[in-house]
Amino acid sequence: MAGPKSAAIQIRAPNANPSNVKEQEKGRDSPVSAEKKRETPQRICRNVMIYGYCKFQDSGCVYYHPPPGTDPNVINTPATGSPAMTNPTPLSKEPKPSFGLGAEHLSAPVFVPKTPMGDNPSPRATTPSLAPSTIQVPSAPSPAPPPTMAQIPNWPNLGNQGGIIPRQDNSLSFDDSMISMDPSQSSAMDGSMFMHQPIRQPLDQHLYVSPLPHLTNPPVSHHPLHSFFIPDDLRRNLQAKHDATYLGSQSGSSPGLPSELGIYHSLQLLGQSQSGNSPPSKVYAHPAPVYKAVSSVDGNVYCLRRIEGYKLVNEAAFGAVDTWRRMRHPNIVGLREAFTTKTFNDNSLILVYDYHPLSTTIWDEHLSPNPPPHSPSRGQRSGMPIPERLLWSYITQMTNALKAVHSSGLAVRNLDPSKVLITGKNRIRLNGCGVWDVLAFDANTPIGVFQQEDLVALGKLIISLCCDFFQPGQHPALPLDHIQRNYSPDMKNLVMFLISKPSPLKSIDEAIKIMGPRILNELDAMQNYADTIESDLGAEMENGRIVRLLSKLGFINERAEFELDPRWSDTGDRYILKLFRDYVFHSVGVDGKPILDLSHVLTCLNKLDAGLDERIMLISRDDQSCLVVSYREIKHCIEAAFNELRNTGNPHRVHR
Ligand SMILES: Nc1ncnc2c1ncn2[C@@H]1O[C@H](COP(=O)(O)OP(=O)(O)OP(=O)(O)O)[C@@H](O)[C@H]1O
């Protein structure tokens, strides 16, 4: 490689010669020299400001040096009347051949740090962001010159509604600061120039977007750190579900259960009776234990319901299973397949359902005197009636499911509180669909009869949710009176309709008509929830971008060797990435303590991902090298280095 590759500004520190390096290292541990070190960034900045610059541009690289003849160790403190402040004339952008770069730079090699490899002094103190007011380095030529104040479109001042991270003074882009210091823009030199006028970039992709105002949106200053990520309770919930799904999924079946059942393995009993013989089911009369199992075909976790002591007498009993398998509905637990087996040393019917981790049932949640250990309502039963809003939500979801089932020419036939699964917050699904179609196969009874029974079962389920004293078989007069006193008239009307005698006019469609506007409430709630979840998803999307970026950096930084070059990751463009890594992660404060500022990390990485023209100063750990480089250039370095890695061994290497 014949010349410098990076489009960066390199600032040589005043004492950047090998003899000085040694001098510096000697005193590294003394407090005095540590103090000096912390001052170094300012020194460099001031030298740059005062000494002017010379510019060499080849392959987009611009080098800056102090002018010859000046004492590099003299610190020109810009007090009042400092050159930078009293002479706002911008530094000429024309090359000044009188100092700085000589012809030898025309063939300057790839930039290599002076510090010997492996010599890693502790990261020096750096300021997290370059304050443009203290350093004025002329911008490298860019395809489009920065707009003047007159050219800048008058963006409406929208406050900070677009970002959690406000654009602070020290995050002004380099070009912004140049605009404000350009005296040639005489129109900008009036009083308004000094007022804080945020210059809004059309694409602030480096900023995190706040939740939109229609979602609850605290003031920007109140955004806690975790607002960069999905809410804690959602994260905990999802994490718990993942844990429940994968817990024991590779550790084989529980003791006493077959190691394999067809294509399923790692069987584990679900539900309350975790050991011993299962009692007969409240609904199916047979013992009907439920297992979690893993499919060896697709690796997914499923829920297997086993009906013990089932003997198949008619193949047609499985006829309805195909229709159930095709049914995909948000309020129905999907049935995948059904088969008989003797693996348990008996005749068993197995129905395979979708697995919904950590789910409970309406029975466990609201009616059982002994809720299961993981039930959220355990110990919280207040004895108060279930809120009407929640009841309507349940009713709407169950009615929705019944409508789908009846429209498919099927009937649920086991609408019981223990067969309504609660799979999330107020989210329910009908469970065990298809069991009765096989278990009590009856080709002679019209499906309409079973559908009418579904409506009555729904009415009874609502009654038991409204009145916890209701017993099956009890006359409904007392519960209806209770409902009338505690719930709206619509509730009583619906229940009376559902438990009324079967008639051709009685259908799920008529029930839906009675519910009317209540369904719209559920629609509202669902859509609000969808909005919230979508907004949470947006936060994770930003983090996904950053993980990809960090992965690329990780592939490049500290790579021991690439194509027989042990210094690959420390030379050329990669050296900039190394310094950038230090800038982002290894900054230390003036007190010498590590700066563990996640906002700084996220801000830097987002700016990098967006490839902003804003510049930052990267300083080597030994203070000997200093680069002023834009995020855009760093991004280019990452892409180039990553492509180099990716194209290893490819004879047609393409650097995109
Ligand atoms: N599809 C499923 N996904 C995840 N867990 C399920 C699923 N189906 C059932 N479960 C779990 O299994 C438990 C037991 O379900 P089951 O239908 O057997 O209820 P039950 O109260 O034991 O009824 P029964 O008296 O009929 O046995 C449920 O509480 C639930 O935690």
Give per-residue pLDDT as tens, 192-249: 333 444 444 444 455 555 556 555 555 544 455 556 677 888 889 999 999 999 887 7
Ligand 1 neighbour 281 (Cβ under 6 A): yes
Rounded to an integer, what distance in angstroms lies between the CA atom of residue 350 and that of residue 348? Answer: 6
Ligand 1 neighbour 580 (Cβ under 6 A): no
Judged against a pLDDT cut of 50, whether residue 32 lies above it is answered with no
Q: Which pair of structure tokens corresponds to residue 325? A: 């398998």
pLDDT at position 561 is 82
381 CA distance to ligand 1 middle (Å): 21
- Backbone angles phi and psi of 387, in degrees to 5: -55, 140
Judged against a pLDDT cut of 70, whether residue 541 lies above it is answered with yes
Rounded to an integer, what distance in angstroms lies between the CA atom of residue 596 and that of residue 411? Answer: 60
Which atom of ligand 1 is found nearest the CA of 419? Answer: 17
Higher pLDDT, 463 or 80: 463
Judged against a pLDDT cut of 60, whether residue 602 lies above it is answered with yes
Nearest to 458 by CA among 430, 426, 487: 430
Ligand 1 neighbour 331 (Cβ under 6 A): no
Per-residue confidence band for 461, with pLDDT thresholds at 50, 70 and 90: very high
Lowest mean pLDDT among 5-9, 25-29, 160-164, 435-439: 160-164
Judged against a pLDDT cut of 90, whether residue 429 lies above it is answered with yes
Per-residue confidence band for 315, with pLDDT thresholds at 50, 70 and 90: confident
- Strands (E) across 27-158 are located at 62-64
Per-residue confidence band for 179, with pLDDT thresholds at 50, 70 and 90: very low
Calculate mean pLDDT across residues 527-544: 85
Measured CA to CA in angstroms, residue 635 lies from 87, 244, 574, 638, 641 at distances of: 34, 40, 11, 5, 10
Higher pLDDT, 162 or 319: 319
Q: Which pair of structure tokens corresponds to residue 383? A: 């004895």
Instruction: Report yes or no: 83 and 47 within 8 Å, Cβ to Cβ.
Output: no
Higher pLDDT, 383 or 121: 383
Calculate mean pLDDT across residues 530-554: 86
Measured CA to CA in angstroms, residue 451 lies from 308, 428, 610 at distances of: 26, 20, 58
Rounded to an integer, what distance in angstroms lies between the CA atom of residue 60 and that of residue 633? Answer: 10
Higher pLDDT, 371 or 287: 287
Ligand 1 neighbour 424 (Cβ under 6 A): no
Judged against a pLDDT cut of 90, whether residue 634 lies above it is answered with yes
* pLDDT above 90: percentage of residues in the chain: 39
Residue closest via CA to ligand 1's atom 12 equals 271
Higher pLDDT, 20 or 398: 398
447 CA distance to ligand 1 middle (Å): 26
Beta bridge partners of 9: 62, 628
244 CA distance to ligand 1 middle (Å): 15
Terminal Cα-to-Cα distance of the chain (whole angstroms): 17
Per-residue confidence band for 374, with pLDDT thresholds at 50, 70 and 90: low
DSSP 452: H
pLDDT at position 652 is 57
Instruction: Report yes or no: 612 and 552 within 8 Å, Cβ to Cβ.
Output: no
Q: Which pair of structure tokens corresponds to residue 156? A: 């409406």
397 CA distance to ligand 1 middle (Å): 19
> 36 labelled as ligand-binding?
no
Judged against a pLDDT cut of 60, whether residue 307 lies above it is answered with yes
Q: Report the mean per-residue pLDDT for the chain.
A: 71
Nearest to 333 by CA among 266, 267, 270, 239: 270
Judged against a pLDDT cut of 80, whether residue 24 lies above it is answered with no
Per-residue confidence band for 159, with pLDDT thresholds at 50, 70 and 90: very low
Judged against a pLDDT cut of 90, whether residue 265 lies above it is answered with yes
Lowest mean pLDDT among 263-267, 328-332, 535-539, 643-647: 535-539
> 354 labelled as ligand-binding?
yes
Instruction: Report yes or no: 618 and 123 within 8 Å, Cβ to Cβ.
Output: no
Judged against a pLDDT cut of 50, whether residue 51 lies above it is answered with no
Ligand 1 neighbour 638 (Cβ under 6 A): no
pLDDT at position 101 is 37
> 358 labelled as ligand-binding?
yes
pLDDT at position 247 is 86
Residue closest via CA to ligand 1's atom 30 equals 360
Calculate mean pLDDT across residues 467-487: 83
What DSSP element (H or E) covers 509? helix 508-515
Cβ contacts of residue 354 below 8 Å, gap of 6+?
302, 303, 333, 334, 336
Please identify which residue in the block is written with the tokens 């080709």.
443
Ligand 1 neighbour 333 (Cβ under 6 A): yes
Per-residue confidence band for 170, with pLDDT thresholds at 50, 70 and 90: very low
